[in-house]
Chain A
Amino acid sequence: MVAGAQTHRLANGGVIDRSTSLSFRFDGKTLLGFQGDTLASALVANGVKLVGRSFKYHRPRGVLTAGSEEPNALVELRSGARREPNTKATTAELYEGLEAASQNRWPSLNFDVMSVNQLFAPIFVAGFYYKTFMWPAKFWEAIYEPAIRRAAGLGRAAGVSDPDHYDKAWAHCDVVIAGSGPAGLAAALAAGRSGARVILCEEDFVLGGRLLADGGAIDGLPAAEWVARAVAELTALPDVRIMTRTTLFGVYDGGTYGAIERVNDHVPVPPEHQVRQRLWRIVAKRCVVAAGAIERPIVFAGNDTPGVMMASAMRCYINRYAAAPARRIALFTNNEDGWRTAETAIAAGLQVAAVIDARPDVSPAHRSLASKGGFPVLHGSVSAVDGGKTGVRKISVALTGGARAEVEADGLAVSGGWNPAVGLTSYHRGRPKWRDDIAAFVPDGAPPGMVAAGAANGAFGLGACLREGFEAGAAAARDAGRGGNIGSMPVADDEAFSLTPLWHVAGKGKAFVDQQHDVTASDVELAQREGFQSVEHLKRYTTLGMATDQGKTSNVAGLAIMAAVSGKSIPETGTTIYRPPYVPVAIGAFAGHHRDENFHATRLTPSHHWAAEQGAVFVDTGLWKRAQWYPHAGEKDWLESVTREVKAVRSGVGFCDVSTLGKIDVHGPDAGAFLDRVYINAFSSLAVGKARYGLMLREDGIVYDDGTTSRLAEDHYFLTTTTAKAGLVMQHLEFCRQVLFPELDVQLTSVSDQWAQFSIAGPSARKLLQQIVDESEDLSNEGFPFMGAREVKLRGGLKARLFRISFSGEMAFEISVPARYGEAMARNLMIAGKPFGVTPYGTEALGVMRIEKGHVAGPELNGTTTAGDLGLGKMMSTKKHFIGRVMAGREALTAPNRQVVVGIKPTDKARRLRSGAHIIPKGETPGPDNDQGYVTSVCFSPVLDQWIGLGLVERGRERIGEIVRAHDPLRSEDYDVELCNSVFYDPDGGRQRG
């Protein structure tokens, strides 16, 4: 396809690089623009007026603004996985090969079937969905909502994973400045010269703000030259950082600001190793908001016709981009500033059709401009626009005094005055205050450390912007403790600003307040009539100001219309609450690096890579990757592998990496006394060289955690926790040490990562170990009995810690070596165990063996059970105080009908038992009244050759032998089970002692 000519590009001027031509595609059509264009300015230069269809009525829409406040010109940018919906053409930087598509039209922008909605417009009023689709209720999700979503809405998400990378970073400074217009640059100069660390954030890709569009003279220099000098001076300062393409979007506690940097949105694909966007958290002592002001529309019939554009945007396209939005321009203004568009149009050689001024009078200078330019000045208001998807054709004017006039033009510039950008200053619930002289809200109640300056503060003249910015920058730096010489303040003249407020012109046809959400003036009136009189209700009922532009152009006009119909003033009507982000921020930027395998940090055991070599299947347990089982070739499923591992351990020997258990060094003369207080059983009486199982309660008497703790020296215990609670127990113990028992001389250190710990279990465990430990070590039952704990020497001289503890019920040891030896230990266990058929086993086999032994674990230590419930009530010492003792004695926690741990097995040996099944007495109807507990843990027991489990069952231990129902409504199962002793295997414990 041949590239279209840039029919509306002006011959001269603009901050564009005419030597770099860029080709791009819009709705499949290839067009040309220049380096320095936005997508919107390139479309304007190509004479494209129609850029999208509206949200609800599918009305044709054109470009309204030249900034991030744009409600209409939203496109799907890029394609495939990078397709990004609702991108503002007004901020999308043009690049070679850019692809964009208009939204919310089918089959094409020019011929949109859904524009039939316009015919039904009278029924699509505010609250239409609520009123129309109320019944039948079940139709909402199935029929109404999907249909409405197809008809209404904005762009389409890519639907596949984002191929680009995002990251997050911190920055620190004395003064952060939002905006690089005259106020922002002046603030940066003052703060930077004083020696402050400054960050200047500019949303645009070029610095200068409104100076780029409106020019002017500063310090006797043309604005562009002054900007270049200011930027050069700032760049030379070592502690000033200028961040373009960066929007300061939020204010958080303690002087933390959120900013989004579009690092590579201006190229087709980010260069290799680079991110697309970066989310900044900026910590600043002070903040100067120099974010400028947003020109506001006047609401009149047909104000959404393509070709109707904000007056300031029109100047921006002409002056900054050398692109003419129209050839014959009409201007509708209620203020002095709007006239600058007429001046700009004439200077650019464009025709001015007429100026429609709502004020009673215009200045002599403008009168003479009109006579020189040969265009009429009409006193009155625009009452209708004749045009369509090809743009504005004719404008109807209601003249002051009642007469009517018509103006032929292909573009209409509108200026209703300016609204300071009060977002950032209002994010801590500050309510902006109304100023009658400019008929606008200005910041009030800004977060601590933040001030607004320049147009953002309601100072619209260039001289005032420079003055306010410079003073704010100097004050911010001073407050941050910087006192260098700030030099002289840049000066410029102030333009006159006179305005007669005008919000809404009555007339026939739809007059849009919020163009992005298709909210009309009559919707606002209707909401008021129907009782939605608070601005917050108005917002929700009409959706005014709720779209991706957050009502930047529409909110104040909506409030003004609301105020007029309710007979209140605008300040009485008030504003809705402002919330960040100021511009849409991609979720990807908030996620940053934390996606896919980096979703959270992972922890690897010391033998991880060895286990991976063995083909282990890993399971995520908390942050850990743990070997779950080690499949052998030919095994058909996990159960076969796990059963083999269990049998190998019970008949020979196996080992398992248990380094994930929390490990804590408890030191000090009072270590024993300390443990006596945190465990329910005694530890001060534990002999050096011995291990003991310990149970901790929460303060409320419920079980907190368990584990074995060994005494390695008079003043040194080695405490272990469950994997899940490792960090929490450390916190709990530190709290006990520092806050509850500061009188005890005890020191705690996490040594979880210091030790690689392996469980070695099975009848051949001792024989295996004897291969590895030095021959001088006596591992016999007498020399190292059950629950022994001591340091041993290994062959080769390395020292290890050995514990004779068992979770599996077999004769078992746990051996610890410093973690960097962990992988060598795994390899050596394989070598040493070869003659005994050693089998590495995973967490599944570990779980099977603990259930066979009736040991409680996470499913039973579930935050609702007492020591008594777990069958461990006798461990509770009556001779000492410990955390949880008093509260554990509460009536409800000692009630005889509590649900307690009991063994469960199906009466049909072939049946599979499932966790979560509820226990119901035989002959009773399943339901809450007859619910007596549930199955907590299950496994297939290779020893018993059937499924078994543990459960929490009312009076369970008194009911051994009783047949009850396992009722499982989730899986539609109901079967008989027998309550039995929870120790299924080797109940007298002979094997582990042997």
Chain B
Amino acid sequence: MADFSWDVRSPLDRALVAGPYGVQGDAGVALTEIRNFDLIQVMARRGKAGETAKAAQARFGAAAPETPKTVATADATLIWSGPDQFLVLSKGGKHTMAALAPVFAGSASLSDQSHARALISISGDKARAMLAKLSSVDLHPDVFGVGAAAATSMDHTSVTLWRGDDRNGQAVFNLLVFATFAESLWHTILDSAAEYGATIGHSEDL
């Protein structure tokens, strides 16, 4: 019997080259692809928004977002994705389809999006300047604070953008893009970042 290996490959596996990119020197932008996450779309069934919210509260110990925001819980990030729906982003198999199905049974429909997106984390002094080339969203700290989220588009491609917790005093922007568009958007991101210098990597950690 033939020997099959089932290696996973992120949509950016080929395009992402770890290391410096663009202008030499201190990198203005850090681009990190987060690989192998679980992402579950939760959509309340008709008239079941309240039940869904309760189920979410019980499961995550925090209320799911009802406006364009994210909620960071102990082991997941809940990202608003539309009226009465949100995404559950997690690592380590804690909140998979199988795990969440009983939680939302009868109150919400679940759809697995774990492989449907690539996740890119963007930080650095020039992160906002670079993102201004891609996004029409105002990312000024007074407007787009920690936890703010937007379902928007970049380079004619649908994305989910949110601001995570600051790291080393710097803003961190997270970007979910459809997997089949990821390589194309990645090249656009690199083009946008090149003049500031970028440091590129990938990580298994959220």
Contacts and interface: CB of A to CB of B under 8 A. Distances in A.
B180 interface: yes
A388 interface: no
B113 A749 contact: yes
Given A745-B47, A795-B4, A820-B8, 10 more contacts: A167-B133, A281-B136, A601-B181, A601-B184, A667-B110, A744-B46, A749-B113, A818-B114, A820-B36, A831-B3
A598 B140 contact: no
Interface of B: 1-11, 13-14, 22-23, 36, 41, 43, 45-47, 109-117, 129, 132-133, 135-136, 138, 140, 143, 155-157, 178-181, 183-185, 187-188, 191-192, 194-195
Interface string A834-875: 100000000000000000000000000000000000000000
A350 interface: no
Interface in A853-905: none
Contacts of A593: 133, 155, 188, 191-192
Nearest to B129: A169
B152 to A, nearest CB: 11
Given A598-B187, A796-B6, A755 B115 contact: yes
Interface of A: 165, 167-172, 197, 272-275, 281, 283, 593, 598, 600-606, 609, 623-624, 659, 665, 667-670, 715-716, 744-747, 749-755, 771-772, 794-796, 798, 818-824, 828, 831-832, 834
B1 A771 contact: yes
Contact of B185 (A601, A609, A665, A747): A601
Given A281-B136, A283-B138, A824-B9, A747 B45 contact: yes
Contact of B184 (A281, A602, A745): A602
A745 B109 CA distance: 10
Given A745-B46, A824-B9, A831-B2, A605 B180 contact: yes
B165 to A, nearest CB: 22
Contacts of A165: 191
A471 B156 CA distance: 40
Given A593-B191, A665-B111, A754-B112, A824 B6 contact: yes
Nearest to B44: A747
> Nearest 7 A-B pairs (CB), nearest first?
A667-B109, A745-B46, A749-B111, A754-B116, A172-B138, A753-B116, A818-B115
A820 B180 contact: no
A281 B132 CA distance: 10
Given A281-B136, A598-B188, A749-B111, A831 B6 contact: no
Nearest to A281: B136
Nearest to A663: B116
Contacts of A828: 2, 4-6
B9 A603 contact: no
A473 to B, nearest CB: 20
Q: Is the interface of A mostly helix, strand, loop or mixed?
A: mixed
Contact of A771 (B2, B155, B179): B2
A824 B8 CA distance: 7
Given A603-B181, A824-B7, A168 B23 contact: no
A167 B183 contact: no
Contacts of B183: 602, 604
A821 B111 CA distance: 18
Chain B interface, DSSP helix/strand/loop, else mixed = loop
Contact of B191 (A167, A171, A600, A623): A167
12 contacts: A167-B192, A169-B129, A197-B140, A665-B109, A668-B109, A746-B46, A818-B112, A819-B180, A820-B10, A824-B9, A828-B5, A831-B2
A751 B97 CA distance: 14
B180 A170 contact: no
Nearest to A727: B158
A749 B9 contact: no
A30 B67 CA distance: 64
A832 B180 contact: no
A482 to B, nearest CB: 12
A716 B111 CA distance: 10
B170 to A, nearest CB: 16
A470 to B, nearest CB: 25
Nearest to A742: B46
B117 A168 contact: no
A171 B132 contact: yes
A274 B136 contact: no
A753 B178 contact: yes
A172 B143 CA distance: 10
A586 to B, nearest CB: 17
Given A281-B136, A601-B181, A747-B109, A772 B155 contact: no
Contacts of B191: 165, 167, 593, 598
A668 B46 contact: yes
B132 A169 contact: yes
A659 B2 CA distance: 25
Contacts of A822: 9
Contacts of A665: 109, 111
A753 B8 contact: no
Nearest to A746: B46
B140 to A, nearest CB: 7
A669 B47 CA distance: 12
B149 to A, nearest CB: 17
Contacts of B156: 600-601
Nearest to B8: A820
A272 B133 CA distance: 18
Nearest to B112: A754
Contacts of B117: 753
Contact of A172 (B2, B23, B140): B140
Given A798-B6, A819-B115, A601 B157 contact: yes
Nearest to A745: B46
A156 B129 CA distance: 36
Given A167-B133, A828-B4, A745 B113 contact: no
A241 to B, nearest CB: 11
Contact of B195 (A273, A606, A623, A659): A273
Given A601-B185, A795-B4, A823-B9, A754 B132 contact: no
A160 B46 CA distance: 59
A668 B45 CA distance: 7
B133 A601 contact: no
A171 B143 CA distance: 13
Nearest to B153: A601
Contact of B43 (A624, A749, A751, A798): A749
A601 B22 CA distance: 21
Contacts of A170: 132-133, 135-136
Nearest to A667: B109
Nearest to A772: B4
B136 A667 contact: no
Contacts of A600: 156
Nearest to A263: B195
B195 to A, nearest CB: 5
A831 B3 CA distance: 8
A212 to B, nearest CB: 29
Given A170-B132, A753-B179, A821-B8, A745 B187 contact: no
A168 B179 CA distance: 24
Contacts of A771: 1-2
B4 A273 contact: no
B45 A669 contact: yes
B22 A831 contact: no
A382 B4 CA distance: 93
Contacts of B135: 170
Nearest to B109: A667
A831 B1 CA distance: 10
A746 B111 CA distance: 13
Contacts of A832: 2, 4
B148 to A, nearest CB: 14
Nearest to B5: A824
Given A170-B135, A197-B140, A751 B109 contact: no
B185 A273 contact: no
B33 to A, nearest CB: 12
Contact of B115 (A169, A745, A753): A753
A273 B115 contact: no
